[in-house]
Amino acid sequence: MAAITGVIPRPTSYAGIWGWMTTVDHKRIAVLYGVTAFILLLIGGLEAGVIRMQLASADNDLVGPGRFNQMFTMHATTMVFMVIMPLSVSFFNFVIPLAIGARDVAFPRLNALSFWIFLFGAILMNVSFLVNQVPDAGWFSYANLTEKPFSVNRGLDFWAIGLLVMGTSSVAGALNFVVTIINLRAPGMSMMRMPVFVWMTLITSILLVLAFPVITVGLIELVMDRNFGTHFFIPTEGGDPVLWQHLFWVFGHPEVYILILPPMGIVSEVLPTFSRKPLFGYPFIVFSGIVIGIMGWAVWSHHMFTVGLGPVANSVFTITTMLIAVPTGVKIFNWIGTLWRGSIEFSTSMMFALGFVALFIVGGLSGISHAVSPSDFQQQDTYYIVAHIHYVLFGGSIFGIFAGIYYWWPKITGKMLNETTGRLHFWLTFIGMNLTFFPMHFLGLNGMPRRIYTYSAEFGWENLNQVASIGYVVLFVGFLAFLFNVWQTRNSRKVGHDPWDAPGVEWSISSPPPPYNFAELPQIEGRDHYWIVKENAEAAGTPITGPEALVDESTIHMPSPSYWPIFTAVGVALIGGGLLSHYALSFVGGAIAMMGIVGWSNEPAAAPSEHH
């Protein structure tokens, strides 16, 4: 087997496309995730555009019902699994090692594998458009609509297998970050000195490794029903479609906390920086995050209040769901406490963070009304739920992510995004978002169901739908403003290592950081380590004026690039692709993956090298 590694020499440099394909550097992998996720954001956004244009007027015929079903299915699946999750992972990748004072993650090649599997999985799912067999049963694909007599083409197989492939990526990545955070914190960084973003990443990663196996089983059972003759969800054979719902939502509810906790972590970094105050109530924010992670397992059937579980089950889940609002409220009050009497700087990042707090509160309020099962009976499957989802996922997650982008952009690229364009981006997004989704509360309460491709004018829903569709256009322009900002600042002046005068240790090194991150692993002085360091230096009369000095790279032992991750990922993707076309391909993929694993294990983490 050593012969395999001898055929193609191990990559040594970072240059060119091959350098990107074989990178194991967390900073580069972060960029790969970020760019891929933004392309998918565009695709998911266009899918939303079709929805909004079709619903803008009554009795519209822009698209037919079949295509419309595909649009809302792919819009949601794309946004949840191929946009928000990878954007969060992009931040995990870039920030976590820097924030804990490490040189890279615990398993750099596994990190690369996660990205490539994600990319191939996302491509696999979107290949469904090329063969015109697009998933169309909703992003939660309730059985038994998803079974063969009713969903006859391979769309649902694309959906299930695409998710199985991407799930592998998520679990591998999450395993990596759990070990990284537990085991690679710099000396002096106890758990209670970790930045909140690091805490939220840890909790999210634990949720990922525990929740994904459950939906994996559900997806396997669905694929088996559709292709291997089983009857797990077919009622006429004794199977139960409700079991699918349980398996999906036991995963699905922790999943929504997976979507929101990292942006909450980002906001917990941004607010103190631009209030020039330490985070208020750090232990409460940390513990409420832990409580949310644990309680998130006890509320899943609130997505199933109208299924007929019975009054006892409904009551239990009403209570648990109402209780889980408490830790979220605790966070919000602590964020407000951070702002209180702070010296607020309204940078674009800060505005997105403030927008997060405001909009998430709105989403949370509608959430509380869902928690109460009798009122949920009125709201379920109406646009009221669509409003809730988008206030928490767009107003929440996406706003938090943009706050993080504007905050850490200088650290990643060494340049600042333009503040004026950023402000434009913010206001267009904020106004557009509210224009699009606020009317949906009323539409829902007025009875407009979800997932209908058109409606009759006599319902009186047309005006609010038009407002929502106009809001979409505003959002789209806002997104273009962001893209313009990125392009506009590509050649702007380089900024220093610490443009915000921020508290995290990642700001003590150059922007962008050297490949080895820290010349010497830092000794962490406390929470808000860099503020403490800067204050002490100031007090000692030797204020800090620049980043940690760069050193000769060859003196630092870093993991070397490797082609095994992308090689193995190709194998995994072929296993999935084979299941969708010719089974022989799956065996080929399996063989490639095995070869990849063998080659990988034979390769040391760092090449025995020129550098000692």
Partner 1 sequence: MAHETEHTSNHPSFNQYVVIAIILFAITIVEFGIIWDKIGIEDDLGAAVIPILIGLSAIKFAIVIMYYMHLKFDHRLFGTVFVSGLVLSFLVGGALLALFISFDGEPREYAIANAVPYEGHEASEAAEGHEDADAGSDTPVAAGPVALAVGAVGETLAFSETSITATSGSEVTITFDNPSSNNQHNLVIVQDGTKDAVATDGTTAGPANDWVAPGDARVVANTALLAPGTSGDVTFTAPAPGTYQFVCTFPGHNFTMFGDFIVR
Partner 2 sequence: MAHAAEHEYTTTGLSHRKMLMWVFLGSDCLFFGALIATYMVYRGQSLVGPYPVDIIDVPLTTVSTFVLLMSSFAMVQALAATQADNKKALVTWLLVTAGLGVIFIGFQIYEFNAFKNEGLTLGGNLFGATFFTLTGFHGAHVTLGIIWLLAMAYIGSKGRLGPNTALDVELLGLYWHFVDIVWIVIFTLLYLIGGFDAGPASLPGG
Contacts of 49 (CB under 8 A, 6+ apart): 472, 476
Helix (H, G, I), strand (E, B) or coil at 415: strand
Which of 201, 355, 351, 334 has its CA nearest to residue 279?
Answer: 334
Q: How many residues does the chain have?
A: 612
Annotated active-site residue 114? The verdict is no
Cβ contacts of residue 274 below 8 Å, gap of 6+? 342, 344, 345, 346, 347, 349, 350, 353, 500
301 binds, among partner 1, partner 2, none (CB under 5 to 8 A by kind): partner 1
Question: Of 316, 367, 335, 186, nearest to 263 (Cα)?
Answer: 335
Q: How far is CA 333 from the centre of its chain?
A: 24
Give how many residues touch partner 1 by CB under 8 A. Answer: 29
Residue 369 is among the residues annotated as catalytic for this protein: no
Among positions 10, 67, 231, 276, the unique one binding partner 1 when judged by CB under 8 A: 231
Tell me which DSSP letter residue 104 carries. S
The item of partner 2, partner 1, none sharing an interface with residue 171, based on CB under 5 to 8 Å by kind, is partner 2
Does residue 16 interact with partner 1 by CB under 8 A? no
236 is a contact residue toward partner 1 (CB under 8 A): yes
Q: Judged by CB under 8 A, does residue 310 bind partner 1? A: yes
Is 441 catalytic? The answer is: no
184 is in the binding site of which of partner 1, partner 2, none (Cβ under 5 to 8 A by kind)? partner 2
- The verdict on 235 binding partner 1 (CB under 8 A) reads yes
Of residues 120-179, those binding partner 1 (CB under 8 A): 148-150, 152, 178
Residue (168 or 275) nearer to partner 1, CB = 168
319 binds, among partner 2, partner 1, none (CB under 5 to 8 A by kind): none
* Cβ pair 479, 516 in contact under 8 A: no
**Is residue 169 annotated as a catalytic residue, yes or no?**
yes
409-412 contacts: CB < 8 A, separation 24 or more? 410/495, 410/499, 410/500, 410/511, 411/94, 411/98, 411/506, 411/507, 411/511, 411/512, 411/513, 412/27, 412/30, 412/31, 412/94, 412/511, 412/512
Integer Cα distance of 222 and 141 in angstroms: 10
| 253 carries an active-site annotation | yes
Beta-carbon contacts of residue 77 (< 8 Å; ≥ 6 apart) = 125, 135, 139, 159, 163
Please confirm, yes or no, whether 170 is among the known catalytic residues: yes
Q: Which of 109, 185, 303, 411 is catalytic?
A: 303
Active site residue 450: yes
Residue closer to partner 2, measured from CB, 241 or 278: 241
Catalytic residue among 331, 370, 527, 529: 331
Q: Which is nearer to partner 1, 31 or 298 (CB)?
A: 298
423 counts as binding partner 1 under rule CB under 8 A = no
Which of 127, 313, 495, 605 is the binder for partner 1 (CB under 8 A)?
313
* Residue with Cβ nearer partner 2 (47 or 104): 104
Least separation in angstroms between CB 212 and partner 2: 8
611 in catalytic set: no
Q: Which is nearer to partner 2, 143 or 398 (CB)?
A: 143
Least Cβ distance, residue 33 to partner 2 (angstroms):
21
268 part of the active site: yes
CA distances (Å), origin 368, targets 316, 323, 334: 15, 10, 20
In angstroms, rounded to a whole number, what is the distance separating the alpha carbons of residues 382 and 448?
6
Q: How far is the CB of 101 from partner 2 (least distance, A)?
A: 10
362 binds, among partner 2, partner 1, none (CB under 5 to 8 A by kind): none
Please name the helix (run of DSSP H) or strand (run of DSSP E) that holds residue 16, with its range, or none: helix 16-21
Question: Exactly one of 15, 312, 549, 584 binds partner 1 (CB under 8 A); which one?
Answer: 312
- Tell whether residue 535 is a contact of partner 1 (CB under 8 A): no
Question: Which of 66/604 has CB closer to partner 2?
Answer: 604
Taking the complex as a whole, the smallest distance from the CB of residue 491 to partner 1 amounts, in Å, to 43
CA–CA separation, 401 and 397 (whole Å): 6
Return all residues near 263 (Cβ < 8 A) that are at least 6 apart.
Answer: 88, 356, 396, 397, 398, 399, 400, 401, 403, 404
Among 52, 103, 246, 370, binds partner 1 (CB under 8 A): 246
Q: Site residues (CB under 8 A) for partner 2?
A: 106-107, 171, 175-176, 178-179, 182-187, 189, 209-214, 216-218, 220-221, 224, 228-232, 237-240, 243, 247, 250, 519-521, 551, 555-557, 598, 604, 606, 612
User: Any residues with CB less than 8 A from the CB of 504 and at least 6 apart, and which?
Assistant: 98, 99, 195, 269, 528, 529, 530
451 flagged as catalytic: no
Q: State yes or no: residue 182 binds partner 1 (CB under 8 A).
A: yes
- Cis-peptide into 513, omega within 30 deg: no
Residue 163's H or E segment, with its range, is helix 155-183
Give me the least distance between CB of 124 and partner 1, in Å please. 24
Among 33, 116, 139, 384, the one annotated catalytic: 139
Is 139 considered catalytic here?
A: yes
What is the rounded distance in angstroms from the CA atom of residue 411 to the CA atom of residue 295? 35
Tally Cβ neighbours within 10 Å of residue 182. 11
Residue 152's binding partner among partner 1, partner 2, none (Cβ under 5 to 8 angstroms by kind) is partner 1
Q: Is the Cβ of residue 37 or residue 160 nearer to partner 2 in the bound state?
A: 160
Q: Is 210 in the site for partner 1 (CB under 8 A)?
A: yes
CB nearer to partner 1: give 49 or 241. 241
For residues 60-89, which are near partner 1 according to CB under 8 A? none
Q: Is position 520 an interface residue for partner 1 (rule: CB under 8 A)?
A: no
Task: Tell me 494's DSSP state.
Answer: B
Task: Convert residues 286-305 into a mask of x (bound to partner 1 by CB under 8 A) and - (unbound).
Answer: -----------xx--x----
Task: Assess 541 for contact with partner 1 (CB under 8 A).
Answer: no
The span from the CA of 594 to the CA of 185, in Å, is 33
Residue 277 appears among annotated catalytic residues: no
Residue 18 to residue 32: CA distance in whole angstroms:
13
Tell me how far apart the alpha carbons of residues 333 and 328 are, in angstroms, rounded to a whole number: 9
Task: Indicate the burial class of 457 (C-beta count within 10 angstroms; 0-12, 13-18, 19 or more).
Answer: exposed
**From partner 2, partner 1, none, interface partner of 15 (C-beta below 5 to 8 A by class):** none
Is-catalytic flag, 75?
A: yes
Measured from the CB of residue 132, what is the shortest distance to partner 1 in angstroms?
16
Residue 498 annotated as catalytic: no
Catalogue the active-site residues. Answer: 75, 104, 139, 169-170, 253, 255, 257, 268, 302-303, 328, 331, 450
Binding site for partner 1 (CB under 8 A): 148-150, 152, 178, 182, 206, 209-210, 214, 231, 234-238, 240, 242-243, 246, 250, 297-298, 301, 308-310, 312-313
